Amino acid sequence: MNPDLRNLIALQDLELKIASLQKQASDIPNKNQMFENELQRIQAAYQDRIARSKDLANHRRALEGQVDLNRAKLSRLKEQLMAVKTNKEYTAMLHEIQLAEEQIRSEEDKILEFMEQMEIVEKELKGAEQEMKKKTAELRESIRQSTESAPALETELAGLREERVRMESQIGAELLSRYRRIAEARKGIALAEAKDELCSACHVRIRPQMYAELLRTENIHACDSCSRILFSRESL
């Protein structure tokens, strides 16, 4: 294989690795923000559960207070019942007592409902707290690892960029310029493997004569369809 072509293959592999690492480095802020958003969502959901529990407790206390007031009212009504002098007043007082007792029973039933709901919510809250702590620890660790990976990525990138300069110096200027033009037009992929008489990049069939020359000579050929420089691993 043409030595310049061999160097171009190595250069493209290196540049693809550089591009991948650059993307990883540039994605770190977005990735960390995604972790932060998820962390906030989990914590907000847990706070909503706490608020729900407090709301139920407040409703229960309000009902219990109302029951206490109604019991005091019932006690007064029963005391007043002993002082009435006519059947009409007695009947009216009994009716008020009955209404007060019904009101107390209704409120006590509601209190029981709230207690049952609170029991369910408290169990859910305990499970949610454990899950939140676990998820929070995992997300904070992900943020830490992501943040701490940045310097290492930059160091690795610096070394690879130096290696790219060294490799570029080993390739003829005209061929390197051609490589750059194609790479710019083809999203960084200037070389394509020729295999089974096909260009692996655009999948168009290579002319038989060109494919044969590619296998047995050091001449540099380009795909008639996508203009990428062709190489065969059989010649490596």
Res. 236 pLDDT band, cuts 50 70 90: low
What pLDDT shows up at residue 215?
A: 86
Pairing of strands 191-195, 198-199: antiparallel
Q: Domain boundaries in the chain?
A: 3-7+10-171, 174-235
Distinct helix (H) and strand (E) counts, the chain: 4, 3
Looking at domain 3-7+10-171, its CATH architecture is Orthogonal Bundle (1.10)
Which secondary-structure segment (H or E) carries 121? helix 87-168
What pLDDT shows up at residue 222?
A: 94
Query: Comparing 145 with 236, which gets the higher pLDDT?
Result: 145
Residue 62 has pLDDT above 80, yes or no: yes
- What's the predicted TM-score (pTM) here? 0.65
Is 101 in a helix, a strand, or coil?
A: helix
Dump pLDDT digits (tens) for 165-200. 999 999 999 999 999 999 999 988 999 999 999 999
Cβ neighbourhood burial of 110 (10 Å; 0-12, 13-18, 19+): middle
Can you tell me the distance from the alpha carbon of 87 to that of 220, in angstroms, rounded to the nearest whole number?
Answer: 120
Question: How much is the average pLDDT of 143-152?
Answer: 92
Res. 235 pLDDT band, cuts 50 70 90: low
Rg of the Cα trace of the chain? 40
What pLDDT shows up at residue 162?
A: 95
Dump pLDDT digits (tens) for 112-146. 998 988 888 888 888 888 888 999 999 999 999 99
Can you tell me the distance from the alpha carbon of 7 to that of 10, in angstroms, rounded to the nearest whole number?
Answer: 5
What pLDDT shows up at residue 72?
A: 93
Res. 14 pLDDT band, cuts 50 70 90: very high
What pLDDT shows up at residue 214?
A: 87
Can you tell me the distance from the alpha carbon of 76 to that of 98, in angstroms, rounded to the nearest whole number?
Answer: 13
What pLDDT shows up at residue 216?
A: 85
What pLDDT shows up at residue 117?
A: 87
Can you tell me the distance from the alpha carbon of 124 to that of 223, in angstroms, rounded to the nearest whole number?
Answer: 64
Dump pLDDT digits (tens) for 157-166. 999 999 999 9
